[in-house]
Amino acid sequence: MAEAGTEVSDQGPILRLLGVRKSYGQAVVTEILHGIDLTLERGEFAALIGPSGSGKSTLLYLLGLLDRPTSGRIELAGREVSTLSEQERTERRGRRLGFVFQFHHLLPEFSALENTMMPMLANAGREEPGMRDRAGRLLASIGLGDRLGSQVTQLSGGQQQRVAIARALAMEPLLVLADEPTGNLDTETGDQVFALMRRFNREEGTAFLVVTHDPRIAERCDRVIELVDGRIVSDRRSSQKAPRALAPD
Amino acid sequence: MPFEWWMALRFLREGRAQTALILGGIGVGVGVIIFLSALITALQTSLIERTTGTQAQIVVRPPEDEVRPLVRAVPGPGGIAPAPRIERPPQRLRSILNGTQAMAAIARLPRVTAVAPTVAGPAFALRGAASSSIALRGVEMESYSRILDLASRLTSGTARLRGTDAMIGVELAKDLGLGVGDKLRIAVPEGRRQVFSITGIFDVGNRDLNKRWVFVSLRSAQTLLGLAGGISTLEVKVDEIFAAEEVAQTIHGRTGLIADSWMQTNSQLLTGLRSQSSSSALIQVFVILAVALGIASVLIVSVVQKSREIGILRAMGTSTRRVVRIFLIEGAILGLGGSLVGIALGSALALFFASLAKNPDGTATFPVALGAGLFLRSAAIATAVGLLSAVLPARRAARLDPAEVIRYG
**pLDDT recorded at residue A192:** 85
**pLDDT recorded at residue B359:** 67
pLDDT by residue (tens digit) across B283-314? 888 888 888 888 888 888 888 888 888 888 88
Of B2, B317, B406, which has the smallest distance from its Cβ to A93's Cβ? B317
Q: Does A134 touch chain B (CB under 8 A)?
A: no
> For residue A241, is pLDDT > 60?
no
> For residue B214, is pLDDT > 90?
yes
Angle at B267 between CA B261 and CA B273, to 5 degrees: 105
Q: Does A67 touch chain B (CB under 8 A)?
A: yes
**pLDDT recorded at residue B171:** 93
Contact A95, A174 (CB under 8 A): no
pLDDT by residue (tens digit) across A72-108? 889 888 888 888 888 888 888 888 899 888 777 888 8
Arithmetic mean of pLDDT over chain A: 84
Average pLDDT (B181-194) is: 90
Q: Do B318 and A87 touch (CB under 8 A)?
A: no
Average pLDDT (A186-197) is: 86
User: How far is the C-alpha of B134 from the C-alpha of B196, rounded, in Å?
Assistant: 14
User: How far is the C-alpha of A235 from the C-alpha of A124, rounded, in Å?
Assistant: 38
Q: Give the strand order in the sheet containing A45-49.
A: A97-100, A175-179, A207-211, A45-49, A223-228, A231-237
Q: Does A84 touch chain B (CB under 8 A)?
A: no
Q: Does A1 touch chain B (CB under 8 A)?
A: no
**pLDDT recorded at residue B185:** 93
**pLDDT recorded at residue A29:** 86
Residue of B nearest to A168 (CA): B316
Q: Does B313 touch chain A (CB under 8 A)?
A: yes
> For residue A128, is pLDDT > 70?
yes
pLDDT by residue (tens digit) across B135-175? 999 999 888 988 888 888 899 999 888 889 999 999 999 99
Angle at A113 between CA A106 and CA A95, to 5 degrees: 70
Q: Which of B10-24, B210-224, B346-360 has the lowest mean pLDDT?
A: B346-360
> Measured between CA atoms, how close is A176 to chain B, in angstroms?
11
Of B2, B6, B315, which has the smallest distance from its Cβ to A99's Cβ? B315
A-chain residues near B11 (CB < 8 A): 109
pLDDT by residue (tens digit) across A28-57? 888 888 888 888 888 899 999 888 888 888
**pLDDT recorded at residue B263:** 85
Arithmetic mean of pLDDT over chain B: 85
Contact B53, A147 (CB under 8 A): no
Q: Do B314 and A90 touch (CB under 8 A)?
A: yes
> Measured between CA atoms, how close is B277 to chain A, in angstroms?
46
**pLDDT recorded at residue A248:** 43
Task: Tell me phi and psi for residue B390, to 5 degrees.
Answer: -85, -10
**pLDDT recorded at residue A235:** 87
A-chain residues near B6 (CB < 8 A): 121
**pLDDT recorded at residue A8:** 38
**pLDDT recorded at residue A249:** 41
Q: Does A121 touch chain B (CB under 8 A)?
A: yes
**pLDDT recorded at residue A240:** 53
Q: Do B317 and A101 touch (CB under 8 A)?
A: no
| Interface A-B: count of C-beta contacts within 8 A | 76
B-chain residues near A98 (CB < 8 A): 316
pLDDT band of residue A208 (cuts 50, 70, 90) is very high
User: How far is the C-alpha of B166 from the C-alpha of B181, rounded, in Å?
Assistant: 10
> Measured between CA atoms, how close is B49 to chain A, in angstroms?
56
**pLDDT recorded at residue A5:** 37
pLDDT by residue (tens digit) across B71-102? 777 777 777 777 767 677 666 777 887 778 88
> For residue B22, is pLDDT > 90?
no
User: How far is the C-alpha of B126 from the C-alpha of B143, rounded, in Å?
Assistant: 28
Average pLDDT (A209-222) is: 88
Q: Does A167 touch chain B (CB under 8 A)?
A: yes
Q: Which of B86-100, B204-218, B332-346 has the lowest mean pLDDT?
A: B86-100
User: Which residues are CB-contacts of B356 (< 8 A; sequence separation ≥ 6)?
Assistant: none
User: How far is the C-alpha of A50 from the C-alpha of A55, rounded, in Å?
Assistant: 8
Would you give the DSSP letter of residue B151? G
pLDDT above 90 covers a percentage of chain B that reads 22
**pLDDT recorded at residue A2:** 40
User: How far is the C-alpha of B216 from the C-alpha of B207, rounded, in Å?
Assistant: 19
Of A87, A98, A126, which has the smallest distance from its Cβ to B3's Cβ? A126
Average pLDDT (A148-168) is: 87
**pLDDT recorded at residue B172:** 93
Q: Does B312 touch chain A (CB under 8 A)?
A: yes
User: Which residue, among A96, A97, A107, would best test binding to B if mutated, counting the most B CBs under 10 Å from its CB?
Assistant: A107
pTM: 0.71
> For residue A233, is pLDDT > 50?
yes
**Which of B361 and A174 is assigned the larger pLDDT?**
A174
Q: Do A122 and B318 touch (CB under 8 A)?
A: yes
Of B14, B317, B407, which has the smallest distance from its Cβ to A122's Cβ? B317
Closest CA to A97 of A175, A192, A16: A175
Q: Could you tell me how many helices (H) and strands (E) chain B has, helices first? A: 15, 12
User: How far is the C-alpha of B354 from the C-alpha of B368, rounded, in Å?
Assistant: 7
> For residue A109, is pLDDT > 80?
yes
Q: Could you tell me how many helices (H) and strands (E) chain A has, helices first? A: 7, 10
**pLDDT recorded at residue A138:** 87
> For residue B50, is pLDDT > 80?
no
Residue of B nearest to A93 (CA): B317
pLDDT band of residue B116 (cuts 50, 70, 90) is very high
ipTM of the complex, rounded to two decimals: 0.81
Q: Does B366 touch chain A (CB under 8 A)?
A: no
> Measured between CA atoms, how close is B402 to chain A, in angstroms?
6
**pLDDT recorded at residue B173:** 92
User: How far is the C-alpha of A203 from the C-alpha of A137, rounded, in Å?
Assistant: 14
| Top-confidence range, A20-29, A134-143, B114-123, B349-358 | B114-123
> For residue B8, is pLDDT > 70?
yes
pLDDT by residue (tens digit) across B234-263? 999 988 888 889 999 999 998 888 899 988
Q: Tell whether the torsion through CA atoms of B174, B177, B182 and B188 is positive or negative.
A: negative
Q: Helices in B234-306 by DSSP H: which ranges?
A: 244-255, 262-265, 267-305
Q: Do B316 and A122 touch (CB under 8 A)?
A: yes
**pLDDT recorded at residue A242:** 45
